Amino acid sequence: FRLAAADVSTAIDALASTTMASAARSTPDVLPPALRAPPLLRRARWCHGHLGGELAAQLYQRMLEAGWIERHEQRTEVTPRGVQALAELGIFTQALASPLACDCFDWSQQQPHLGGALGAGLMQLFLQANWISVINESRALSVNDGGLEHIARVAKL
């Protein structure tokens, strides 16, 4: 199946994260089977044109720790260090659209990953380098061993 528009996907993700958060509060150690994300979607998936899932949440955290991005209240900004490091990867932030970077709440990880034009740019880099590939026209992504190594090195301290 396909969603009619990106807005529908946004609404579904928002509802899923709200439902999972309320279920987690009422039963902290157990989620109903219907709310458990399939392993492939938890690991890596398309999320509004950028990478979502465990891999994306880990990358976001590394980028914060390495000083590539910073959070200011409700904004996520790319630092001068991040601009330089991303350029070395072939991503030129000056050429990307707005919003450049934003938090996207990951319903499967219950923490943010990177959205915006930078999130989409990283996704394109990973796809073009053949580090990740789409599984059967779904949102699930396959990450090969070499890709896992390369992605794990992005923003590694």
Q: Could you state, in order of their start, the residue ranges of all structural domains in the chain? A: 1-36, 38-153
Q: What is the pTM of this model?
A: 0.78
pLDDT at 79: 98
Which of the residue ranges 9-23, 55-69, 120-134, 138-152 would you say has the lowest mean pLDDT? 9-23
Taking phi over 0 as left and psi of -120 to 50 as alpha, with beta for the rest, 138 belongs to beta
* CA geometry: angle 137, 40, 130, nearest 5 deg: 60
d(CA 93, CA 97): 8
Q: For 73-128, what is each residue's pLDDT tens digit?
A: 889 999 999 999 999 999 999 999 999 999 999 999 999 999 999 999 999 999 99
Q: For 140-150, what is each residue's pLDDT tens digit?
A: 999 999 999 99
Q: Looking at residue 97, what DSSP letter applies?
A: -
Counting residues of the chain whose pLDDT is more than 90, the rounded percentage is: 69
- Structure-token pair, residue 143: 């990450």
